[in-house]
Amino acid sequence: MSTLHDLHRPLGSTGLRVSPLGLGTVKLGRDQGVKYPNGFTIPDDAQARALLQQARELGINLIDTAPAYGISEQRLGPLLRGQRDEWVIVSKSGEEFEQGQSHFDFSPAHTRLSVERSLRRLETDRIDLLLVHSDGNDLAVLRETGVYETLAALKREGKILAYGISGKTVEGGLLALQQGDCAMVTYNLGEQGEKPVLDYAARHAKGILIKKALASGHACLAEGVDPVRASFELIFAHPGVSSAIVGTITPAHLAANAATVAAVLQGID
């Protein structure tokens, strides 16, 4: 079966090279307040370790986590021991999830606290990409809170290698790319409103990560059309896309997604 080992690509001009498919890890740490069509059981350590090993074997080197993903970071630290240089780790700051509720804090003090905490939890000396976990008020977050200035300082200190935003608006995505390295945007068969952010990234060698690539599992099309294949064909037809993050914990789905991405990128029918 095709793998992604030979299909890694630059994440904009960050110097990082990432697999075109990334592994999202919300399901390793949180089963409350998630927007998936079906319920799931959080994998135990043996299952999580096997999933990460499978991802590596498939050529996936990009892993996405966040403080808001419950205990995802705390679990990944021990699970990735001895493998740090094998992975490009993306984490976030700004959103906290406690007692079943999200709350947000983009202040410089909290941003620095959050990054330092993530470093400890992940048992690492640097986070490859740190994204602002926006509450949707992207422009206000970037202009009024000092979060980007704090991330720029953390980058100078070597604690993060690149930074950007996981946002919800075109205006926020554009500003984030003008002043930072990467944006994580929603782009799928049903939602393409943030395409101008992808266009800007392609013109200016900025990084783009796609979230909700399969519409959080809700991807659907007319009968006779493979929605997963169609989703990845749409995504990777755009030259601005670096990687798509998919949060499956099902080994068969992970293998099928990797094979489909490989086929799309290699032009295999």
How far apart (Å, rounded) are the C-alpha atoms in residues 225 and 221? 6
Catalytic, 36? Answer no
C-alpha span between 253 and 27 (Å, rounded): 14
8 A C-beta contact, residue 213 and residue 231 = yes
Burial of 100 (0-12, 13-18, 19+ CB in 10 A): exposed
Cα–Cα nearest to 216, from 73, 80, 24, 49: 24
Q: 11, 23, 16: which is closest to 56 by C-alpha?
A: 23
Torsions phi, psi of 159, nearest 5?
-80, -25
The catalytic residue among 36, 69, 187, 200 is 69
- Joined together, the tokens standing for residue 123 give 């048992």
Residues 164 and 46: their CA atoms lie apart, in Å, by 33
Torsion of CA 167, 26, 145, 137, to 10 degrees: 40
Q: Which two tokens stand for residue 188?
A: 């799928």
SS3 content of the chain, % helix, strand, coil (to 5): 40, 20, 40
Gap between the Cα atoms of 20 and 261, Å rounded? 7
- Catalytic positions: 69
